Structure 1
Amino acid sequence: MCQALAYQAVRETWASVLRPWEDALAHSPGDTLFLTPLWQQTWWKHFGVGKQPLLYSFWAGVRLLGVAPLCLEGDTLAFLGETDLFDYHDFIVPRGEEGAFYPALVHALAGLPWRTLRLLSLREGSPALEHLPPLARQQGWTCQVEEEDVAPGMPLPGDWEAYLRALDRHDRHEVRRKIRRLTQDTLAHCYAIDDPNTLWGFLDEFFTLMRQSMEEKSRFLTPQREAFFREVGVALAERGILRLYFLEYAGHRVASALCFDYKGQRLLYNSGFNPAYGHLSVGLVLKALTIKDAIERGLAYYDFLRGGEEYKFRLGGRSRRLFRLTLRRPDPTPG
């Protein structure tokens, strides 16, 4: 208990934290798939070896102020997960509780055995970026905020033609031309897989197309990451969140895109294509068709997620910044 502030920090287990975590997330303006217990606990199952989970809930009486999902490795304290599998991180704080949560968090942090606190992938506008630096400096900790990456996205209009009109003239022409070139050919068609009972086999083809498209993606797809994707993918499909898109041409699956539909937004998580069909722009066309499908489903926002690849802006994405916040305690005084 923090007597001066009358806040209570509760060290939780995975089992005990789920209820307050889900309650806080449901009322948080920063709610995103990457902050769900499902995503983070699955990550922990596959990548948590050698780390100590520090899961805290914060309360003012019976009022939930928020949840801090952290882990300790050596003397470094951080969010669960890294940028390879998490596009966004943050604390889970209900709207309006920020002014109470962050002082309680800093009070709890002061009693934990860390030297560096590394908070990755905080979105532009995150309350952590506003509240933590001045509170940390009051404790005598140094604070550094750095721009980490961008995560382009865009609000979706009510219809496809309105989306096209919003594009740059050249980009609008290219999107229309490339889609027309493929879709007017009866050899091409697009469809989505969302049945958890059949997803496993289709994930094999998705991974193959990822590996074919870029050497970097081939290196990224380690057996450990594949196992994570399979487990979390089936769980998300069971909840109606996952949609795995394929573009077929002449009976061959030539491009694929893994999307998550979460709280009115479509997240384009990853994609791949067969370079032998690159002259048909199959990767770009499929991504455009996932935007069209999102509009037709009435979704409000399309999130290209982390990375400033050119195609995201050609398809209408607007840049949003991600930040890294690092706190450091001073070295202990000798003697």
Structure 2
Amino acid sequence: MSKIITQKIYDKSWNEVEKEWNDVFNSFFYNRIFQSPKVKKIWWKYFGKGNQYKILVITYSNNKLISPLRVQGKTCSFIGSTDLFDYEDLIYSNYQDMDLGLEKLVNFISNDLFVEELRLNSIPDNSPTIKKILKYLEQNNWQVDLKKEDVSPRISLPSTFDEYLFSLSKKNRHEIRRKIRKLDKIKNVKEYEFFKYQDIKDNLDDFFRLLRISSDEKKEFMNLSRENFFRDLSLELSLQNQTRLRFLEIGNKRVATSLSFVTKGTKYLYNSGYDPEYRDLSVGVLNHIFAIKNSIYEKNKVFDFMRGDEVYKYRLGGIDETISKLIAHKR
């Protein structure tokens, strides 16, 4: 008996597919925060101009696959961008019988979109998407190039902060304790997180201030469009209790900050900043240490530093997860 496979294409009204997309996103642990319809919709608001979206919902064997695609000229890619989305992927209800959905998806891209290039960026290597989709792309006469894009260090969190410290090398454990002791000698030190909508709205300006003064690179990165995206994203996700806005304060002055999102037991460290005048106290790293400690207290299972191989991530226990990109051209 053949399996019934159906597809629906949404390219006019995002609202028509949002509930179904959200249900599929929430149903499976391996769907990451950047695959949610709320995050994609905010990105589209600020950066979708000049693109056309094609959201494909494929149903097969009582499972669903959602493919949030954008088309710009002759190129097809995920809705999103590597400067703002650390992870991309298809959205699955589960991985069972996924070949059926992937074959249908590739047939749609190959025959109905009239594109010549396919760019799928930032797919985690623990996702089966890339390995599985290659076969169907080659069957449809695509030349495929698969490359490592970046790394995303992550920590598997234990149940206590002491266990976390003892999971580190002796040298790194000693260095963290030394930094904390040095900070403890200073009077009037506070570290805290906001998670309620109004608190986040009222305190985001300090986040952007500290981010911009951290480095010239971050100052250049945080233009008005990205700032507006960050604001909308932080406030929207706070309505689901997923936003964490953290500060480290010394003498009533905020000296370090970070913005994180929490979902499905993972805390994603999205961006951060600190005051260079307090560099000798390692306030940026300490703010991350306190974020890890709070993540353990919240009983999260993973602390995700996200893309980039900065040294401090490894000193704090990060272990690389590779993310890859697939670029295919129609023969």
- Quote the residue 1:303 is aligned against: 304
Counterpart CA distance in 2 for 1:230 and 1:241 is 14
8 Å CA contact 1:209–1:254 kept in 2: the answer is yes
Counterpart CA distance in 2 for 1:327 and 1:126 is 18
CA offset digits 1:279-325 (Å, max 9, x no partner): 00000011001001111111111100111111100000001100001
CA-CA distance at 1:97 after TM superposition: 3.6
Mapped pair 1:28 → 2:32: no
- Quote the residue 1:193 is aligned against: 194
Counterpart CA distance in 1 for 2:60 and 2:255 is 54
- Quote the residue 1:8 is aligned against: 6
2:247 aligned partner, one-letter code:
F
CA-CA distance at 1:65 after TM superposition: 2.4
CA-CA distance at 1:64 after TM superposition: 4.2
CA-CA distance at 1:131 after TM superposition: 1.0
2:209 aligned partner, one-letter code:
T
Mapped pair 1:66 → 2:65: yes
- Quote the residue 2:106 is aligned against: 106
- Quote the residue 1:202 is aligned against: 203
Counterpart CA distance in 1 for 2:72 and 2:108 is 18
- Quote the residue 2:82 is aligned against: 83
Counterpart CA distance in 2 for 1:326 and 1:28 is 26
CA-CA distance at 1:179 after TM superposition: 1.2
8 Å CA contact 2:107–2:140 kept in 1: the answer is no
1:59 aligned partner, one-letter code:
T
- Structure 1: which 5+ residue stretches go unaligned? 331-335
Give the secondary structure class of the aligned counterpart of 1:326: strand
Counterpart CA distance in 1 for 2:319 and 2:210 is 27
CA-CA distance at 1:9 after TM superposition: 1.9
Counterpart CA distance in 2 for 1:97 and 1:209 is 47
1:109 aligned partner, one-letter code:
I
8 Å CA contact 2:212–2:273 kept in 1: the answer is yes
Counterpart CA distance in 1 for 2:4 and 2:103 is 11
Give the secondary structure class of the aligned counterpart of 2:320: coil
CA-CA distance at 1:134 after TM superposition: 1.2
CA offset digits 1:49-83 (Å, max 9, x no partner): 0000011101238x342110000001000001111
- Quote the residue 1:150 is aligned against: 151
Q: How much identity, in percent, do the aligned residues show?
A: 34
Counterpart CA distance in 2 for 1:6 and 1:109 is 20
- Quote the residue 1:333 is aligned against: none
Give the secondary structure class of the aligned counterpart of 1:258: strand
Mapped pair 1:162 → 2:160: no
8 Å CA contact 1:264–1:300 kept in 2: the answer is yes
- Quote the residue 1:219 is aligned against: 220
CA-CA distance at 1:184 after TM superposition: 4.1
2:271 aligned partner, one-letter code:
N
1:30 aligned partner, one-letter code:
Y
Counterpart CA distance in 2 for 1:195 and 1:27 is 25
Query: Which consecutive segments of 4 or more residues in structure 1 shift more than 6 A?
Result: none
- Quote the residue 1:293 is aligned against: 294
8 Å CA contact 1:24–1:64 kept in 2: the answer is no
2:217 aligned partner, one-letter code:
E
Mapped pair 1:47 → 2:47: yes
Counterpart CA distance in 2 for 1:188 and 1:26 is 38
CA-CA distance at 1:26 after TM superposition: 2.4
2:80 aligned partner, one-letter code:
G
8 Å CA contact 1:103–1:135 kept in 2: the answer is yes
Give the secondary structure class of the aligned counterpart of 1:110: helix
1:16 aligned partner, one-letter code:
E
Counterpart CA distance in 1 for 2:129 and 2:317 is 28
8 Å CA contact 2:248–2:287 kept in 1: the answer is yes
Give the secondary structure class of the aligned counterpart of 1:319: strand
Give the secondary structure class of the aligned counterpart of 1:327: strand
8 Å CA contact 2:29–2:264 kept in 1: the answer is no
CA-CA distance at 1:259 after TM superposition: 1.3
- TM (norm. structure 2) is 0.95
Give the secondary structure class of the aligned counterpart of 1:328: strand
1:288 aligned partner, one-letter code:
I
Counterpart CA distance in 2 for 1:97 and 1:179 is 50
1:74 aligned partner, one-letter code:
G
